[in-house]
Amino acid sequence: MKKNIITVLVLAIAVVAVVEIKNRKKAYAPDSSCPDGMCFLPFPEEKMRPGSAREEPMAQQPLPRLLDLGAGKCVPCKTMAPILDEMKETFAGQLDVVFIDVWENEGVGGKYGIRMIPTQIFFDAEGKELFRHEGFYAREDMLAKWKELGYAFDEPQNIEQATSNVEGED
């Protein structure tokens, strides 16, 4: 009798586990607007992190885009926040940097087919996905990847550095 009860319990747990796994796969599978896991512009209007430079309106001309999918309470995401804010400011007019909090915007993870956060997706100016990275991504590594993809962004020179270089030439 005990053997039958244990067998039934094990089978019930197995069925529940299989159903749960299938549901999770559906939740993180790209939808029909992302064929082959490749998503294209335009991006939906999602909530941006409050108080962030990321709340500014998007540029009028099409720019390559760095989309960071993360969450406000995720440690690597919080570590990347100032890097992304700085890149947004430094490369304004050259690169569109966007952060979307997947915990505040349900369904976005599935739309972009992400498996973990943070995930960075590189798009060309037409909205075609060029590359994606999962986990923390250092500024220098992101810029190197953009360069590898054929994009070089001009960094404004530091005024103090430019002044000291001119003074040193005398």
Q: What is the pLDDT of residues 22-61, one digit of tens each?
A: 665 544 444 444 444 334 334 444 444 444 444 444 446 7
CA–CA gap between residue 123 and residue 106 (Å, rounded): 22
- Confidence at residue 71, expressed as pLDDT on a 0 to 100 scale: 93
Question: What CATH architecture is 31-153?
Answer: 3-Layer(aba) Sandwich (3.40)
> Residue type for 28, please?
Y
List the structure tokens of 53: 């430079």
> Catalytic residue numbers?
74, 77
Task: With residue 66 as reference, give the H or E element that holds it.
Answer: strand 65-70
pTM of the entire predicted model: 0.59
User: For residue 99, is pLDDT > 80?
Assistant: yes
Q: How far apart are CA 153 and CA 47, in angstroms?
A: 27
Q: What pLDDT is recorded for position 156? A: 79
Who wins on pLDDT, 23 or 160? 23
Q: Rounded to an integer, what distance in angstroms lies between the CA atom of residue 87 and that of residue 101?
A: 18
Digit-coded pLDDT (tens) for 73-91: 899 999 999 999 999 999 9
Integer Cα distance of 33 and 55 in angstroms: 25
The average pLDDT across 100-108 equals 92
**Long-range CB contact pairs, 135-141, < 8 A, 24+:** 135/76, 136/76, 136/79, 136/80, 137/80, 138/83, 139/83, 139/86, 139/87
